[in-house]
Chain A
Amino acid sequence: CCEDGPSLYNKPFVESYEETPLLVAVLTYMGYGILTIFGYLRDFMRHWNIEKCSVARERDEQKDFVPLYQDFENFYTRNLYTRIRDNWNRPLCGVPGSKMDIVEQVSHDYNRTFQNTGKIMRDVINMGSYNYLGFAENVGQCADAAIQVTEKYGSGVCGTRCEMGNLDIHQEMEELVARFLGVESALTFGMGFATNSMNIPALAGKGCLILSDELNHASLVLGARLSGSTIRVFKHNNMVSLEKLLRDAIVHGQPRTHRPWKKLLIVVEGIYSMEGSIVRLPEVIALKKRYKAFLYLDEAHSIGALGPNGKGVVDYFGLDPKDVDIMMGTFTKSFGAAGGYIGGKRELIQYLRSHSHSAVYATSMPPPVAQQIITSMTTIMGEDGTSLGADRLRQLSENTTYFRRKLREMGFIIYGNDDSPVVPMMLYMPAKIGAFGREMLKRNIGTVVVGFPATPIIESRARFCVSAAHTRETLDVVRGVRGVSGPLVRPLWLVRLFKGPPSIAPRGLSQHRFLIRHSQGESAPLNCVCVCVCVCVCVRVRVCVSKGEGGQQRRLNWFQVLRCVLGVQDLSCFKGR
């Protein structure tokens, strides 16, 4: 767990990424292969008008223009995504709280368009929204305060922070955010995505090097790209890879010119939303200090959701917020609002005020949203004089532990850190993405299912976001998963038969799933041996059983034999053989 740095971690840091079982990987690729073949077949039929093409077409007047899309560009969308499109964009018609109301939709043209049936699916358990602390509410103190502010201010601002959109409520919010984070000063923006993509360019430029985790969010990638800096990518949460890049960068300087880099900026996230992993912050900070790099920490998912005081990943590890140069986060998730912030030293914020694209050109945050942030943050900090915030934090961590443990016990492969409220459950096969999402919805549970390109091609998964608002719901979800799991869990169980219980690699390095994936070669022979042994046993059983006594030539078919070997079939029917 933490033997490589007992001084760095004050509690066990358990993170697991079980490798994709070989059998499952092969089947998954086969699945994609079949889908692709059918895709080509249908494209062929559409081309010759055998199948009616329902996709929107270019205007006739513009047929001779250069095509707007490359033909293969939409192959995946047209032939794979559309088949299971009903699992996404499900419209809600109420609060995205612990339960939600979903507008029932139906498609009559194979998922190209959806029509409302007029019915509403009530009280679907919400495992999809990032409502970690349950502040997405339409009643209670947050909503009341937001209502008051709306009555006073209205909903818009009609100006940028620099021009005439700097309201008193913004000042109040920024002071509170700075206090919450334990930093000198903070600046807020109207959109979380833009906080990253429009502020990184102000912090790094030509001659700077950005070291970015390979699984960083699209907004961080875009920001890094817009900055004009050189970008190098290190393996996900892999400190060895990061250190190597840091050393090389300083020793060799910039490519071709060999000038030293102006500055190094490490960009990491607190919780990775698709993996459920928590950044190895103590090690990152140690590296950053040793190599004099700057650290940009994106706490989009971790702020509010981690740490004994809900102050994110810094709080979780018990570190000093001053060690992180740029503390970035969003208000969309735990606070049930919208927008993002950047916190740090006073000079940093002053510079951003005058040089951030967002502060100069974008409309500032709407007042009700700002009020929602103020109220929810005060609650978390306990400054409202109640223990509501502390209760929520405790509830969230209990729910997380319980839910993760239950799923693991049921034999699913769960990714991520034990303390992370983002719980990705592996599905692997493309067909299961749609099946799982739909089956869960039938059981009144709304989950997020994701596949390629949001994940690596064979690692499709379902994602559960645990919330403090869930009480009994978590239990129900577990029950639901068990109900759905029949066809889903069995192949994994088969694999377990060969491989034993899931192993959690102890050392930081080998824990890394990419290294594990590389080491797959070592376990492949083992799998082969297992399969061979299994086949031998099957043959032996078949021979034994079919020989029988008394010269009865009753043969078992292979399927029956397999069931015997696996212990599924009751052997009593072959008594005496």
Chain B
Amino acid sequence: KLCICCICLGLYNNKNRKEKRKTKMASGQQWVLVEMVQAFYEAPAYHLILEGILILWIIRLLFSKTYKLQETNKLTEKEKEELIEEWQPDPLVPLVSKDHPSLSYDIVTGPPSHKIIINGKECINFASFNFLGLLDNDRVKQKALTSLKTYGVGTCGPRGFYGTFDVHLELESRLAKFMKTEEAIIYSYGFATIASAIPAYSKRGDIVFVDEAACFSIQKGLQASRSVIKYFKHNDMEDLDRLLKEQQLEDHKNPRKAKVTRRFIVVEGLYMNTADICPLPELVKMKYKYKVRIFLEESLSFGVLGEHGRGVTEHFGVNIDDIDLISANMENAIASIGGFCCGRSFVIDHQRLSGQGYCFSASLPPMLAAAAIEALDIMEEDPDIFTVLREKCTSVYHALQGTSGLKLVGVPLSPSLHLQLERSSGSRDTDQRTLRRIVDYVSLREVALTIARYLEKEERYLPPPTIRVLVTVEQTDEEIQKAVSCIKEAALAVIS
């Protein structure tokens, strides 16, 4: 409205002025003002009245309360109350269907060692990550007991606040010595180890290149770091090379940003989800070519691969200093609880103030640390144990080849193999039920197996349903044979 008004006013004035100008063009610029006054006198009365009204109107518009869109939007208290009354939240948790496998856990009575009692039935254990059979080792048990008698069970505090015990320090230095690195740091929970280590270094804006098959704790660590995450195809070095090259191009465009963007490659030594070994030598080459740091998760490979069980670095003969950070848990081969990170002091020491799972959590119960030390002793004293394990793994691997209807996934050296359906029915639930029937069939014949469990909605790349076959040094050749023939029999019976 105001605009229209102004335009009207302007038009009138202009019209008047133009008329005058035509007649008195010659009298020069200084006459303009005079002219205007003159025009004012000369103008007809109706003209003046109209202009006057227009001016008054403008003034009115300028000072009148403007119409606010906001005001009508504001809710009154009553309306707010109504809204609050009206709002209904979703239920806290959706109902879980009654036949969900997690609602009926298998109950293990007694220790889950070589012979395991599942739901009241004794079986040979092919389902625990007890690769070296240290779970019910007498020496380990005795050490744990002695420690329990000295320290009690709990630590009642985080590492900083009187939760550090001399056994923790001993275990850290022993692990560092075992892995031939400068320093090691222990966490009280295996899952939290890599999940805390990654966000201690990689922050918002940094870039992490991860293998698609990376396990769940890596995924959580990446999520906590809020970095940019780039997935490369499982064990596909060309794909990684492509991503790194892309990044290099990007860096050329913005060298200032590139100068402060840290890059990491996160891989597993022996993959939990696929039982594959990562091509470490190629990765190390990439590392120096593109200046990326490598974080290596060795939960499965530590205490398994390599001549002395030092993991995938020893397996490939890679210099351990070339890996920036190695993380592993002590819940598989070591058969205790907790995890550790090792590497150079420059890297590792940072976690003592920045590793959330280290700083803010109660420390590892001393008896578990003592058990881990004893387990390390056994591993150091008798490296043959790894040869035995390797032989067992290979024999299980070869024996399980050619099971009808089932495909064996993994490498011969892996003690944690997956049996996958050769032909999927297309529905995950049906597949899982089929595999479950095989597991049940086998357990009737006193062989314990388990289905690998995943959070189906949360996994980045959900692996297909599989049966986990875990090899330990305690399994005798006859037992392996029996298990394999049972599995073959079951596969025949269930699938066909």
Contacts and interface: CB of A to CB of B under 8 A. Distances in A.
Contact of A191 (B87, B125, B259, B361): B361
A331 B365 CA distance: 12
Contacts of B105: 161-162, 166, 353
A347 B148 contact: no
Contacts of A408: none
A448 interface: yes
B313 to A, nearest CB: 16
Interface in A282-308: 290-294
Contact of B141 (A64, A151, A260, A293): A151
B156 A136 contact: yes
Nearest to B141: A154
Contacts of A163: 127, 450-453, 468
Nearest to B189: A191
Interface residues of B, number: 118
B192 A263 contact: no
A444 to B, nearest CB: 14
B102, B103, B110, B367 — which one has the most chain A CB atoms within 10 A of its CB?
Answer: B102
Interface residues of A, number: 121
Interface stretch (A34-42, A125-133, A310-318, A539-547): A125-133
Contacts of B455: 355, 357, 360-361
Interface stretch (A137-145, A505-513, A555-563): A137-145
B128 interface: yes
A372 B154 contact: yes
A527 interface: no
Contact of B102 (A337, A358, A359): A359
Interface stretch (A8-16, A218-226, A386-394, A514-522): A218-226
Interface string A357-395: 111111100111100100000000000000000000000
A77 B353 contact: yes
A100 interface: yes
A152 interface: yes
Interface in B322-369: 329, 331-332, 334-337, 344-347, 349-350, 352-353, 356-357, 359-362, 364-365, 367-368
Contact of B93 (A95, A155, A194, A351): A351
A434 interface: no
B345 A129 contact: no
Contact of B166 (A59, A91, A152, A222): A91
Contact of B87 (A97, A292, A294, A363): A292
A27 B151 CA distance: 43
B150, B151, B215, B365 — which one has the most chain A CB atoms within 10 A of its CB?
Answer: B365
Contact of B336 (A62, A64, A91, A155): A155
Given A66-B291, A68-B262, A158-B129, A166 B156 contact: no
Interface string B123-161: 001011110001111001100110011111111110111
Nearest to A191: B189
A335 B259 CA distance: 50
Interface string A320-350: 0000011000111101111000000001101
A538 to B, nearest CB: 44
Contacts of A74: 350
A482 interface: no
Contact of A56 (B108, B216, B345, B468): B345
B220 interface: yes
Interface in A192-225: 192-194, 197-198, 201, 203, 217-219, 222, 225
Interface stretch (B19-27, B31-39, B111-119): B111-119
Contacts of B159: 89
A21 interface: no
B108, B154, B261, B452 — which one has the most chain A CB atoms within 10 A of its CB?
Answer: B154
Contacts of A217: 360
B454 interface: yes
Contact of B135 (A156, A166, A251): A156
A64 B140 CA distance: 45
Given A68-B262, A293-B89, A366-B365, A156 B337 contact: yes
5 contacts: A68-B347, A146-B153, A156-B368, A360-B454, A366-B365
